[in-house]
């Protein structure tokens, strides 16, 4: 039980932290990409605004000591100064009027012309092509396609992404280890409290067993001596109730005990036998048990405790059903066997549904106060299920209350 609680605590810590970390890293990457794109757009726009076809006689006629007249001075901004621009001016007929290859030899005139024409055919005014950010502008009598070499920026963003993922992954691992340590310290006092509570129940049950037996024996002797008596009858009745409570407490203590007496068990035969035994009880109350039980399903477990598990759920269904039919099923699902009991019943509120397996919890106090049911049956069923490495769940929908027990099949 507390292993599962520890997992829940770890998950409750890790999931929000992981989501927060993922959101933070996503914001960093998005902001970096957006800032880079905005900067590229501004620099491309600046290049376009100051571009003049008359001052572009051709790549081969460009002065070697700097950019042509009319282009923005490179020393105004470091980013602009260090960036490499390419441009292609084309007439309406598609004729190339001028080139600017950024005084670099990475792209030839033919390559730039082909890329520019492909972009114009695509119809987009801006975007990226390979490692080039581009922007298209309609000038007086010609179309200008400007490129900004984005290789360095892309490499920086890729390096940032790698570092972010590395740091993020390391942070997740560190947070996971921290949460494991924290969960252990959080669970430790709860485990100790639960252990002491179980020990108290076991000790108290054993201590009460003897005086209850003595009171019962003395009451029986008094009844023989003085005959029927109102006060004596009340003593015997309450003593029987006390005896039943002690019995259930001992059963709960045994179910929660870590001592194992496991062996091969034919669970199908157990379910069939218990179902057959309860058919007469159901018949007396005007109800019918409908069963679908798959045969030859074997488990590794304690046959007496598994029988008790089945009987608790059948008894619970018969007592609380508002209809005339009880549905019992047993089937293999993958590597588990699923035992289900369903009965008609009133809708159970979610807050009460979650507490059904708590010790001494009863939904209807008035209905159970005189029936020698003390709210321990489902607690025992849960303890038996978990002792056998399984899981028990309850659901309520469409006027049906469904209990399902999943247990691992024998390997």
Helices and strands counted in the chain (H then E): 10, 12
- Answer yes or no: are the C-beta atoms of 40 and 153 closer than 8 Å: yes
Q: Answer whether residue 154 shows pLDDT above 70.
A: yes
Give the fold, CATH level 3, of 260-408. Answer: Heat Shock Protein 90 (3.30.565)
Lowest mean pLDDT segment, chosen from 179-193, 261-275, 367-381: 367-381
Q: Answer whether residue 331 shows pLDDT above 90.
A: yes
Query: What DSSP letter does each residue of 229-290 carry, written as one string?
Result: -HHHHHHHHHHHHHHHHHHHHHHHHHHH------EEEEHHHHHHHHHHHHHHHHHHTT-EEE
Q: Answer whether residue 267 shows pLDDT above 90.
A: yes
Q: Across all residues in the chain, what is the average pLDDT?
A: 79
Q: Is 409 or 24 the better-scoring residue by pLDDT?
A: 409
- Answer yes or no: are the C-beta atoms of 258 and 202 closer than 8 Å: no
pLDDT score, position 188: 74
Tell the residue number behind the tokens 């905005």, with chain if given.
38
- Minimal CA–CA distance to 255: which of 301, 294, 224? 301
Mean pLDDT along residues 327-346: 92
pLDDT score, position 275: 93
- What are 20-69's pLDDT values in tens digits? 777 877 887 788 888 888 888 888 888 888 787 766 644 333 333 334 44
Give the confidence band of 87 by pLDDT, cuts at 50, 70, 90: confident
pLDDT score, position 102: 66
- Answer yes or no: are the C-beta atoms of 252 and 376 closer than 8 Å: yes
- Answer yes or no: are the C-beta atoms of 293 and 275 closer than 8 Å: yes
Mean pLDDT along residues 282-287: 90
- Answer yes or no: are the C-beta atoms of 18 and 191 closer than 8 Å: no
Burial group, residue 408, by CB count within 10 angstroms (0-12, 13-18, 19+):
middle
Lowest mean pLDDT segment, chosen from 2-16, 254-268, 278-292, 336-350: 2-16
Measured distance CA(45)–CA(71) in Å, rounded: 12
pLDDT score, position 75: 45
Give the confidence band of 234 by pLDDT, cuts at 50, 70, 90: confident
Mean pLDDT along residues 143-159: 81
CA distance to 277, 283, 290, per residue, from 286 (Å): 15, 5, 13
Lowest mean pLDDT segment, chosen from 88-92, 189-193, 277-281, 298-302: 189-193
Q: What is the pTM of this model?
A: 0.52
Query: What DSSP letter does each residue of 72-138 carry, written as one string?
Result: PPGGG-HHHHH--EEEEEE-TTS-EEEEE-TT-SSS-HHHHHHHHHHHHHHT-SEEEETTEEEEEEE
Mean pLDDT along residues 223-251: 81
Mean pLDDT along residues 4-25: 70
Q: Which of 195-204, 240-249, 395-404 has the highest mean pLDDT?
A: 395-404
Q: Is 110 or 404 the better-scoring residue by pLDDT?
A: 404
Measured distance CA(307)–CA(310) in Å, rounded: 5
CA distance to 60, 132, 194, per residue, from 104 (Å): 12, 14, 76
Give percent of the chain above pLDDT 70.
Answer: 80
Lowest mean pLDDT segment, chosen from 102-106, 278-282, 307-311, 356-360: 102-106
Tokens (6 digits) for 304: 């007496």
- What are 355-371's pLDDT values in tens digits? 788 777 666 554 444 45
Measured distance CA(309)–CA(274) in Å, rounded: 10
Mean pLDDT along residues 393-409: 90
């Amino acid at each position: 039980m507390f292993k599962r609680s520890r997992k829940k605590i770890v998950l409750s810590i890790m999931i929000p932290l992981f989501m927060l970390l993922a959101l933070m890293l996503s914001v960093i990457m998005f902001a970096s990409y957006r800032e880079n794109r905005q900067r590229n757009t501004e620099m491309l726009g600046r290049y376009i605004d100051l571009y003049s076809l008359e001052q572009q006689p051709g790549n081969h006629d460009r002065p070697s000591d700097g950019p042509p007249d009319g282009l923005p001075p490179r020393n105004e901004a470091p980013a602009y100064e260090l960036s490499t621009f390419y441009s292609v001016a084309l007439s309406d007929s598609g004729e190339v009027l001028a080139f600017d290859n950024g005084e670099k030899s990475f792209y030839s005139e033919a390559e730039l012309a082909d890329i520019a024409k492909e972009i114009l055919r695509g119809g987009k005014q801006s975007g990226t092509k390979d490692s080039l950010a581009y922007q298209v502008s309609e000038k007086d009598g010609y179309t200008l396609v400007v490129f900004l070499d984005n290789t360095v920026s892309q490499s920086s963003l890729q390096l940032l992404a790698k570092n972010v993922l590395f740091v993020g992954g390391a942070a997740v691992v560190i947070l996971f280890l921290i949460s494991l340590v924290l969960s252990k310290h959080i669970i430790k006092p709860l485990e100790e409290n639960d252990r002491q509570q179980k020990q108290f129940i076991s000790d108290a049950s054993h201590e009460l067993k003897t005086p209850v037996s003595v009171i019962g024996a003395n009451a029986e002797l008094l009844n023989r001596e003085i005959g029927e008596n109102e006060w004596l009858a009340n003593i015997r009745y309450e003593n029987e109730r006390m005896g039943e409570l002690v019995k259930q407490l001992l059963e709960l203590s045994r179910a929660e005990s870590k001592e194992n007496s496991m062996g091969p068990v034919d669970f199908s035969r157990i379910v069939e036998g218990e179902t057959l035994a309860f058919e007469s009880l159901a018949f007396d109350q005007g109800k019918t048990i409908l069963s679908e039980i798959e045969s030859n399903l074997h488990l590794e477990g304690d046959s007496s405790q598994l029988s008790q598990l089945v009987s608790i759920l059948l008894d619970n269904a018969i007592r609380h059903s508002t209809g005339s039919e009880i549905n019992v099923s047993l089937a293999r699902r993958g590597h588990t066997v699923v035992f289900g009991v369903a009965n008609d019943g009133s809708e159970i509120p979610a807050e009460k549904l979650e507490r059904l397996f708590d010790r001494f919890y009863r939904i209807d106090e008035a209905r159970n106060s005189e029936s020698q049911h003390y709210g321990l049956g489902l607690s025992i069923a849960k303890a038996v299920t978990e002792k056998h490495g399984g899981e028990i769940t309850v659901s309520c929908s469409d006027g049906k209350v469904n209990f399902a027990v999943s247990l691992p099949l024998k390997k």
